[in-house]
Structure 1
């Protein structure tokens, strides 16, 4: 167990140390403000305060973990060996940067509470982030920093046996539209037909009626392929279905259709199933509750996981709604158009409510790659290269890789050519050394 001496034990401090020490390094951690308890402790220990007590392992603390609320911080990002750091500590500290304050800044999404320019959907974009501006978005810096702390601890306590964690994969498959042509109802089918003719899309018209007449499989119906992949993996996929009402933003088939319900049930026999919350459920807890109850009625299980439509988050309200409805897992934290680490980590973490200054029961599973972000790379080779770089970064810190694909990503439609092999590459990375 690691004992940390500090002048003041705060919720921010315990939250951050537990993520770095327990979740990343698998070290139990306790805190004390009593010098005599610290001196008496005969195993791993360090002080986190303004001045060292004596010649113990010492990291000079920034004020961030002892403050309340949000203020405009002056942040200077600097190179640090193979990474970057901020909140520098001075010469007497055993690490040149306060990795705990810096980690809290990234994990709490502090910058998303500060004034920023949103995109057309009201989302925080990668370009607004500190990580993008200072070019460390492509590295899970919180995990990298944790291992730098581990190196310092190893030097000080060579007799201690440090645990090792292993690389994991948590594939997420988003299902906003179950079928492309089937089960859309008469009016939508007629509208689609006129749309094909009006835009001279005769090839699509041919495919539409080949599917409707049963001669071909619907291009979005890739569930047999997905389940076959699941059967060959010893970890579970998280498959999230949109069951909200039809709207401008959400265009899935009705949850009243028996075939849709039986599809969700059959997928739930093999994989974990969660909810793709509809666009309007983001701001209206009554809609979210209705969708939660519908999904629980279909699966006969408590709903554990949610991902919001369009990867949209309104912090902190989106997460407070999940907590109020006792939903324990979120898969919305990431960027839609950029590979990388929005929260600076590839380790699932708890949501910290900056307004209430409390760690919540909601686990955030940040995703690092959305299939749409790979579309900007022209060739399949280019896509593969960027994906492998990302996997390498996560493997170096034995983290959890969470990619988000969609059911239609595995279709035979032109823009998704080669994505089946990219997904397979991700799955196979679990078996490599």
Structure 2
């Protein structure tokens, strides 16, 4: 049992201490504001506040966890040996920064509540983040801080507390359109034919005609090959509870619009394929780009009717979560897992962690039941690189996640596996699952 002296307990403190000690360190802890209880405790203990009680292990409190609401902090970057830090502490602190406030700032996505310049799709821009400005976007920094802090605790109290967590790999596939030509509307196909002609893409024009007449299969019809890749990693080609490799398909079931112009859910072949894929791997729902409260409920209902299973795993189209709006809607409708926490435009850790964490609502100052699974890489962000360059980025990110026994999640768009497309997507997918990279 780790005892923590703290004069005042807040919802923010309860959230971040529980995440760090219970979920990351896998250790029990207890708060106390009783000095005599703290002094008499013979096990692991430390104080957290503005000044130490005596000569104990002391972590300085910057003050963020005692506040409510949002304030625009000026972030200054420093070092804790080899790791970047912010919220620098005075010299009497055992570690040189407030690890709890800094971790809360990153996990709560505090910066995304502040006024910001959005990208062309209305998303929070990666370039605006403290992770990019502090040059730690490629590091699961919160996890690395916690690992280092645990080493310090073991050394300070001559104990051997261990984190018995296992590294795992998940490929998540965003299915914005299940078919390129088949089961698409007449207007869509006519427009695509015209675009092929206008751009002198005669091979694509002929391919589309052959697909529409049933002579060739649709170029997106490739899911069996993808499923076979993950099944080859499982014993007896069946997923078990101890498997370290996983795959999830997220299907679009929203209305047709300018941004979501793929296969519509009414086509029988699409619905049957969703059920078939769900027999082998995990499936979830990709909410449409223009998804208000009504659409979110409607699309959730469609998913459950088609799949014959309750909806748990979700993601937002193009990772447009617009913190905290989208997450609040998920909490209200009790859709309790999200895979949108990442950047399509840049590899790295948006929340500076590779472990799942619960969404903390800064408006209501409360931890919610929504579990967020952050992804480390979207293939869109590296698709223009040479294969060796893509592998190098995957290797760098994966090794970082292995260090902290986290979850290595990589996002793809289903269209990136198009047959005949000059893409390294399939090769990289196989590489992601390799044991040694």
**Does residue 356 of the first structure (1) align with residue 364 of the second (2)?**
yes
Distance 1:34 1:210 in 2: 78
**CA offsets 1:191-236 (integer angstroms, 9 cap, x no match):** 3223322332211011112322333332212210121123223343
How many aligned residue pairs are there?
Answer: 427
Question: Which position in structure 1 is the counterpart of 2:277?
Answer: 267
In the alignment, structure 2 segments of 5+ residues that lack a partner are: 234-242
**CA offsets 1:329-356 (integer angstroms, 9 cap, x no match):** 1111111111111111111111111111
Residue 242 (structure 1) aligned to one of 239, 247, 252: 252
Distance 1:126 1:207 in 2: 38
Distance 2:211 2:316 in 1: 30
Q: 1:29 to 1:170 in 2, by over 3 A?
A: farther
Distance 1:161 1:91 in 2: 27
Is the 2:222–2:419 Cα contact (8 Å) retained in structure 1?
A: no
Question: Which position in structure 2 is the counterpart of 1:19?
Answer: 19
Question: Which position in structure 2 is the counterpart of 1:41?
Answer: 41
**CA offsets 1:135-183 (integer angstroms, 9 cap, x no match):** 1111111011101110111102323442332211122111001011111
**Does residue 138 of the first structure (1) align with residue 145 of the second (2)?**
no
Question: Which position in structure 1 is the counterpart of 2:394?
Answer: 387
**Does residue 254 of the first structure (1) align with residue 274 of the second (2)?**
no
Question: Which position in structure 2 is the counterpart of 1:426?
Answer: 432
**Does residue 343 of the first structure (1) align with residue 343 of the second (2)?**
no
Question: Which position in structure 1 is the counterpart of 2:409?
Answer: 402
Q: Using the TM superposition, name which of 16-25 and 176-185 deviates more.
A: 16-25
Is the 1:64–1:101 Cα contact (8 Å) retained in structure 2?
A: yes
TM-score by length of 1: 0.95
Structure 1 moving runs of 4+ over 4 Å: none
Q: Using the TM superposition, name which of 191-200 and 121-130 deviates more.
A: 191-200
Question: Which position in structure 1 is the counterpart of 2:240?
Answer: none
1:261 Cα deviation (Å)?
Answer: 0.6
**CA offsets 1:363-382 (integer angstroms, 9 cap, x no match):** 111111001001242x1111
In the alignment, structure 1 segments of 5+ residues that lack a partner are: none
Matches within 5 A, 1:142-181: 142-181=142-181
Distance 2:33 2:171 in 1: 42
**CA offsets 1:69-120 (integer angstroms, 9 cap, x no match):** 1111122111232220011112221111111111111111111111111111
Is the 1:112–1:124 Cα contact (8 Å) retained in structure 2?
A: yes
Question: Which position in structure 1 is the counterpart of 2:220?
Answer: 220
**CA offsets 1:222-258 (integer angstroms, 9 cap, x no match):** 2101211232233432210001111101012121111
1:39 Cα deviation (Å)?
Answer: 2.8
Is the 1:221–1:407 Cα contact (8 Å) retained in structure 2?
A: no
1:40 Cα deviation (Å)?
Answer: 3.6
Is the 2:180–2:219 Cα contact (8 Å) retained in structure 1?
A: yes
Matches within 5 A, 1:189-204: 189-204=189-204
Is the 1:220–1:411 Cα contact (8 Å) retained in structure 2?
A: yes
Distance 1:398 1:267 in 2: 29
1:413 Cα deviation (Å)?
Answer: 4.3
Distance 1:421 1:2 in 2: 46
